[in-house]
């Protein structure tokens, strides 16, 4: 029987194990970094979003008519494995409650005692990492966006979190134009690793999510499922 808190299609044998993990960080090193962050003056916002950056895809962009979901997934590869090392930080960015909902499923699928938190800046991220190292667990953090155009104003805070893995929580029933705008803006600040997708049952075009060019993991019933 499928579980809503941990759907059977979340886990799989084809996951790509991450090459780098923060689990080797000593607890003292994390604490030292936290102290430096607290004592150091605020750094200027990174020039993450170049002038003239337009996250909206061109009006002519579309999937080839012959492409299927399976074809695209085989090209992009499977989504990455969830991080399980102590102090490993996974960040999930999404609109409103989508971020935390996806973070909870990803944390459960890691099966490593990960706890979901909401992080807003570098200081909070370092404190969460230190706590994860101390308790020997990974950290999964939600970063909710108030609106699709909110990313540019939050670029410095997002960059400061410096996560080990980045997911975007996407409800595919929302318009692709809005979704691609904020996802590409996030990707311009933090390299996005994968999409945690939901809502396929509520749209006739669920496969549009593959136009983002990222591996996709369905957290609820996938298209045709």
Position 183 in a domain: yes
**Measured CA angle at 89 (ends 162, 14), to 5 deg:** 115
**Spacing of C-alpha 140 from chain mean position:** 10
Residue 115 has pLDDT above 70, yes or no: yes
| pLDDT score recorded for residue 110 | 87
- Write out pLDDT tens, residues 128-156: 999 999 999 999 999 999 999 999 999 99
- The total number of residues shown for the chain amounts to 225
Structural domain harbouring 112: 85-225
What does the alpha-carbon distance between residue 139 and residue 103 come to, in Å, rounded to a whole number? 10
Position 95 in a domain: yes
pTM exceeding the 0.85 threshold for the entire prediction: no
Q: Mean pLDDT over all residues of the chain?
A: 77
CATH value at residue 135: 3.40.50.300
Position 138 in a domain: yes
* DSSP assignment of 127-144: HHHHHHHHHT--EEEEEE
Position 92 in a domain: yes
Please tell me what DSSP assigns to residue 96: T
Position 52 in a domain: no
| pLDDT score recorded for residue 211 | 95
Total tally of structural domains belonging to the chain: 1
Please provide residue 116's backbone torsions phi and psi, each rounded to the nearest 5 degrees. -90, 130
Position 43 in a domain: no
Residue 171 φ/ψ region, left for φ over 0, alpha for ψ in the -120 to 50 degree band, beta for the rest: beta
Mean pLDDT value of segment 38-65? 42
């Amino acid at each position: 029987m499928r579980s809503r808190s941990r759907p059977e299609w979340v886990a799989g044998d084809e996951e790509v194990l991450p090459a780098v993990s923060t689990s080797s960080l000593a607890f003292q090193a994390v604490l030292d970094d936290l102290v430096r962050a607290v004592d150091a003056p605020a750094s200027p916002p990174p020039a993450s979003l170049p002038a003239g950056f337009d996250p909206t895809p061109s009006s002519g962009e579309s999937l080839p008519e012959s492409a299927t979901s399976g074809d695209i997934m085989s090209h992009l590869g499977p989504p990455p494995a969830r991080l399980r090392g102590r102090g490993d930080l996974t960040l999930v960015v999404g609109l409103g409650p989508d971020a935390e909902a996806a973070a909870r499923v990803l944390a459960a699928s890691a099966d490593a005692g990960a706890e979901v938190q909401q992080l807003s800046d570098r200081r909070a991220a370092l404190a969460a990492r230190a706590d994860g190292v101390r308790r020997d667990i990974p950290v999964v953090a939600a970063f909710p966006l108030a609106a699709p155009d909110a990313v540019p104003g939050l670029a410095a805070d997002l960059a400061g979190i410096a996560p080990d893995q980045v997911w975007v929580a996407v409800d595919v029933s929302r318009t692709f134009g809005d979704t691609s705008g904020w996802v590409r803006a996030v990707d311009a600040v933090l390299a996005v690793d994968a999409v945690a997708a939901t809502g396929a049952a509520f749209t006739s075009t669920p496969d549009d999510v593959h136009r983002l060019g990222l591996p996709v993991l369905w957290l609820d019933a996938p298209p045709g499922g």
